[in-house]
C-alpha cells in the first residue's frame, strides 16, 4: 500500500489567478484551489500536501512560475506536446467539483500527468515497492523498478544497522519526555480548536471539493446554500438552495449554468426549475447538505411535467377563446 501523502503530483494553472490541484500517487485528489496574485506563494500551498515528484501544466510552453515551482522541489516537469484542448480537460475532470476554469485546468493537467505514470505505480505496487521506489525512477536515480528496489532495500538496511538497543533507563527517560510532550500538545490543540471554531467554517475550503465529489460518486446531489455574492465562489452547475431574490445573483447563477433552485417558498423564475425545500428529504454530510439523486430526479421530472401541462392548458384556453 502506498503512503499517499509523502509524495504528490501537482497541476498548476499560472496567471493572474493561480490555481493548483494536488494528487497523491494513486491519483486521489488531495487539494484543489485558486488565488489571485498568489505568485511564488504557491510553493507554500504545495508544501502542505507533500513533496511534488511531478509538476504539470496544460500548456506546452510552461509559464515561469511553473518552471520555478518544479525547480524548487527538484520535481519532474510534465508538459503536453501541445496545449490541452478544452474537450480533453472536460473529459478528464468530469465528475469533479471545481470553482472556476483555472482550477479545472490545473486539475486536468495533474490527472493527465498521473495517467502517464499510472502504469509504473501499478507495477511498483505489484512488486511490493513503495513511493520511494517510484521517486527514484521518476528522478532518474534508478533505471528500472528492480534497481530502484535494490537501492531502497540497501538504504533501509543501513538505517536498521544504525539503530542500537536502548537501555531500560533510556527507555524510561524517553517515556517521561513523551508524556510531557503529549501534555503540551494537548494544551496547544485545545487552544487551536478554540481559535479555529471562532474564525473558520465547519469544513476547510480545500476539503469541500472532496466531500462534494464523494457525495456525487455515492449517488447524492450536493446542495449549495446561496444567500449573497460571497456564496457564489464555489457554485458551478450545482443545485442551489436560494435564500435571496437579488436579480444580479440570479443572473450570475444562470451564467454559472445553475438550472435548479431549491426555495422555501418557490415561485416561477425564468430559466430555472424551482423546487420546494420541504418536499425534499434533505440530509447532511460533513457540513454539506445533499439529497438522494433518484428522489431528486423524480421530483424535478414531476415539476417539469406539471409546468408543461400548465403551459398546454393555458394554450388551449387561449385558443378556445378565439374559436
Model pLDDT, residue 286: 79
CA neighbor of 225 nearest in space, from 165, 289, 273: 289
Which regions in the chain score pLDDT beneath 70?
A: 1-5, 156-168, 170, 185, 187-207, 307-323
- Residue 168: what pLDDT? 66
Pick the CATH number of 7-159 from 3.40.640.10, 3.40.1350.10, 3.30.420.140, 3.30.70.120: 3.30.420.140
Write out pLDDT tens, residues 152-189. 777 766 555 555 566 667 677 777 777 777 777 676 66
Cell readout for 150 is: 535494490
Residues 212-257: pLDDT tens digits? 888 888 888 889 999 988 888 778 778 889 998 888 999 888 888 8
- Per the confidence metrics, is the pTM higher than 0.75? no
Distances (CA, A) of 138 to 11, 103, 148, 166, 310: 16, 25, 10, 38, 63
What are 185-194's pLDDT values in tens digits?
Answer: 676 665 555 4
**Beta pairing class for 273-276 and 283-285:** unpaired
Task: Report the alpha-carbon distance of residue 32 to residue 233 in Å, rounded.
Answer: 13
Amino acid at each position: 500500500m502506498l503512503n499517499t501523502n509523502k509524495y504528490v503530483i501537482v497541476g498548476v494553472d499560472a496567471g493572474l489567478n493561480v490555481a493548483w490541484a494536488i494528487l497523491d500517487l494513486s491519483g486521489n485528489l488531495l487539494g484543489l484551489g485558486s488565488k489571485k496574485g498568489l505568485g511564488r506563494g504557491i510553493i507554500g500551498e504545495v508544501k502542505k500536501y507533500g513533496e511534488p515528484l511531478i509538476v504539470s501544466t496544460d500548456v506546452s510552453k510552461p509559464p515561469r512560475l511553473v518552471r520555478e515551482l518544479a525547480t524548487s522541489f527538484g520535481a519532474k516537469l510534465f508538459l503536453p506536446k501541445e496545449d490541452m484542448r478544452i474537450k480533453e480537460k472536460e473529459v478528464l475532470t468530469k465528475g469533479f467539483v471545481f470553482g472556476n476554469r483555472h482550477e479545472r485546468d490545473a486539475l486536468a493537467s495533474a490527472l493527465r500527468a498521473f495517467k502517464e505514470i499510472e502504469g509504473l505505480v501499478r507495477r511498483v505496487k505489484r512488486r511490493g515497492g513503495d513511493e520511494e521506489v517510484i521517486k527514484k525512477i521518476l528522478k532518474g536515480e534508478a533505471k528500472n523498478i528492480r534497481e530502484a528496489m535494490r537501492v531502497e532495500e540497501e538504504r533501509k538496511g543501513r538505517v536498521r544497522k544504525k539503530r542500537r538497543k536502548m537501555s531500560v533507563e533510556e527507555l524510561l527517560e524517553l517515556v517521561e519526555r513523551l508524556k510531557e510532550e503529549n501534555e503540551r500538545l494537548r494544551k496547544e490543540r485545545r487552544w487551536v480548536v478554540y481559535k479555529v471554531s471562532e474564525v473558520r467554517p465547519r469544513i476547510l475550503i480545500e476539503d469541500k471539493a472532496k466531500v462534494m465529489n464523494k457525495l456525487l460518486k455515492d449517488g447524492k446531489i450536493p446542495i449549495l446554500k446561496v444567500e449573497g455574492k460571497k456564496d457564489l465562489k464555489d457554485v458551478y452547475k450545482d443545485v442551489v438552495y436560494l435564500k435571496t431574490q437579488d436579480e444580479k445573483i440570479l443572473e450570475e447563477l444562470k451564467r454559472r449554468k445553475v438550472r435548479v433552485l431549491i426555495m422555501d417558498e418557490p415561485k416561477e423564475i425564468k430559466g430555472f426549475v424551482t423546487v420546494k425545500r420541504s418536499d425534499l428529504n434533505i440530509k447532511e454530510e460533513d457540513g454539506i447538505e445533499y439529497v438522494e439523486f433518484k428522489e431528486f430526479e423524480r421530483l424535478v421530472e414531476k415539476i417539469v411535467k406539471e409546468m408543461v401541462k400548465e403551459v398546454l392548458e393555458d394554450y388551449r384556453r387561449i385558443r378556445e377563446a378565439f374559436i
